[in-house]
Amino acid sequence: MRIAIIDYEKCKPESCGKECEGFCPRVRAGDETVKFAENGKPVIDEESCIGCGLCAKKCPRNAVQIVNTPEQLEEKPLHRFGKNGFALFRLPFPVKGEVVGLLGQNGLGKSSALKILTGSIRLERDREGLVRMFRGTELQDYLEKMFSQKLKTVLKPQMLFSNGPFLSKRAKSAGGKTVCEVLQESDEKGMMKEVAEALELRPCLDGRIETLSGGELQRLAIASAALKKSDVYYFDEPSSFLDVRQRMNAAKLIRKLAQDAAVMVVEHDLSSLDFLADKIHIFYGEPGCYGIVSKPYGVRAGINAFLDGFIRGDNVRIHEPVDFSFSKGAEQVERYIEYPGLKKTLGEFSLSVSAGQIMRKEVIGVFGANGLGKTTFARILAGEIKPDAGETGGISISYKPQYLSSNFDGTVSELLESSIRLSEDFKSSVLRPLGLDRLFESSVRKLSGGEMQRLAIAVCLGKDADLFLLDEPSAYLDSMQRMVAAKIIGRAAEKTAAVVIDHDLLFLNCISCRAMLFTGEPGKSGFAKQLNLAEGMNEFLKSLGITFRKDEETGRPRANKPGSQKDAEQKAKGNYFLG
């Protein structure tokens, strides 16, 4: 099947030569493969299109994509988002008593699938047609009950923020209320105390919604969904903005919900997903064009199939296997940057950092809960904050901050040209793998969180500096983009060195040569010291009470399910990481 996608935001017929129509061989032969609708925008007829791709090549605004779905795919799309819009094939299905995970790149329809399953997207097929389509499958019963309102669903949406500190409409509408009031309104189970405790929301119960940090708002949204009575719970990216301990606490709570309901979760942090899910559907296809939902896999087999890039059930290769052999700073013998013990007090919070050094070519992974001063340390190194004791300076640092925002009034290529030197090597080794070449003409102000993150990583790595310092580079990125970002940061560090603060353990494990561990009491005191990676991981995981083993097939670290035999064995030996 051929799919023609037109991005109507980019398409500007009034300022182009209508090349999509003019160059189309079918139009030249006299038929109406490309027609202009009453609103002045083009429409491509996929039946008569021969897939030559000239319209996509010639469109000056990069607004057209012509793609073929895999040969093996026999069915029609479940839903098209407009005539030349995104096509979704198949649906995942929730199962009572299980947590079903959805895994795949951004732009493949995971969030849309959740909206379809909660009835918040109107499908082009009529209800009877849809139920007929799934006759004899698990979804038939689900859809019939949903349409006749015999099934209650709750959705924790993906977007709590839009581009940094701006609250979504949903959160804004709750503005003025306190966390406690929002939880009370949601509390259909009478379990507010336990849920607030489990998600560590007690210290901010009196806080007003509009003053919450990203992590607090995320935990409130999870709590509020969990407190409602429902047959099926949907969580769209519950780990964004949470540190590792908070991710695991949220995962435990979400798993509990599956004791007497069905739960479905979209998640990009593979360690969290591994810990959380029983089964996995993989979404594959062409981001922004079409998405196909695989059959369900067991969690281990599903994550491994995703990393291997081969969907056996559909006999389709979706990408090359992910290679875990990351370059980790070769010898790391040359002392490159040294810093003394540092102290800083900010209001009620005090930070103490032991003296340390960064070797040439190495990446230091920074581990620790939120509120322990990781970003303060980064800002001291970057020269944005002066320490009370200890001196830093004399080194130039290229810093990517945690929260991203830009008032730049121009396109991605204009921003890149004005901030860094764009060599051909940089374009091919950084911009292209990050997919930024496809965004050159996009307005910076209109970028999504993931696009903005990729741009911020590129700008950081494109500067001449002694040290790259990246705060939460994996936020907003999907699992594949995280692996690409890890490789690119690792490669950039080969010329100098890098410090990376993050909460995705697989990402940190892939990228880090050594660890810097932050401990203490969030919001009150933070202590930081350097360790080798295995020691750092072990100490960090011990503080969380979580164990990881090595997956035999891929070598990736896998979270053990709490209370499992492997978990107990590793804890008894004090071996929390890869025991």
Give 210's DSSP letter.
G
- Interior angle at CA 28, CA 27 and CA 34, nearest 5: 15
Site map 15..54 versus ligand SF4, x via CB under 6 A: -x-xxx--xxxx------xx-------x-x----xxxxxx
Give me the least distance between CB of 73 and ligand SF4, in Å please.
19
**123 dihedral zone (left: phi>0; alpha: psi -120 to 50; beta):** beta
Length of the chain in terms of residues written = 579
Q: What is the Cα gyration radius of the chain?
A: 25
Q: What is the largest CA-CA distance in the chain?
A: 78
Angstrom distance (rounded) from CA 399 to CA 45:
48
The answer to whether 310 touches 318, Cβ cutoff 8 Å, is yes
Q: Compare residues 21 and 216 and give the one whose CB is closer to ligand SF4.
A: 21
Closest CA to 55 of 81, 16, 83: 16
**Position 64 contacts ligand SF4 (CB under 6 A):** yes
Q: Which of the residues 374 through 433 are near ligand SF4 (CB under 6 A)? A: none
**Position 63 contacts ligand SF4 (CB under 6 A):** yes
Give me the least distance between CB of 42 and ligand SF4, in Å please.
5
Token pair of 243 as six digits: 């540190």
Q: Compare residues 31 and 535 and give the one whose CB is closer to ligand SF4.
A: 31
Q: Compare residues 39 and 259 and give the one whose CB is closer to ligand SF4.
A: 39
**Position 67 contacts ligand SF4 (CB under 6 A):** no
Q: Compare residues 55 and 465 and give the one whose CB is closer to ligand SF4.
A: 55
- Count CB-CB contacts under 10 A for residue 243: 22
The answer to whether 305 touches 311, Cβ cutoff 8 Å, is yes
Closest CA to 457 of 472, 439, 446, 438: 472
Give me the least distance between CB of 27 and ligand SF4, in Å please.
7
Give me the least distance between CB of 505 and ligand SF4, in Å please.
43
Angstrom distance (rounded) from CA 351 to CA 377:
8
Give me the least distance between CB of 72 and ligand SF4, in Å please.
22
The H or E element containing residue 371 is none
Site map 302..341 versus ligand SF4, x via CB under 6 A: ----------------------------------------
Among 1, 13, 121, 542, binds ligand SF4 (CB under 6 A): 13
Token pair of 381 as six digits: 């190194």
Q: Which of the residues 453 through 482 are near ligand SF4 (CB under 6 A)? A: none
Give me the least distance between CB of 41 and ligand SF4, in Å please.
7
Q: Compare residues 50 and 333 and give the one whose CB is closer to ligand SF4.
A: 50
Number of residues in contact with ligand SF4, rule: CB under 6 A? Answer: 28
Beta strands in 127-269 (DSSP E): 153-156, 161-162, 166-167, 232-236, 262-266
Give me the least distance between CB of 68 and ligand SF4, in Å please.
11
Binding site for ligand SF4 (CB under 6 A): 6, 11-13, 16, 18-20, 23-26, 33-34, 42, 44, 49-55, 59, 61, 63-64, 66
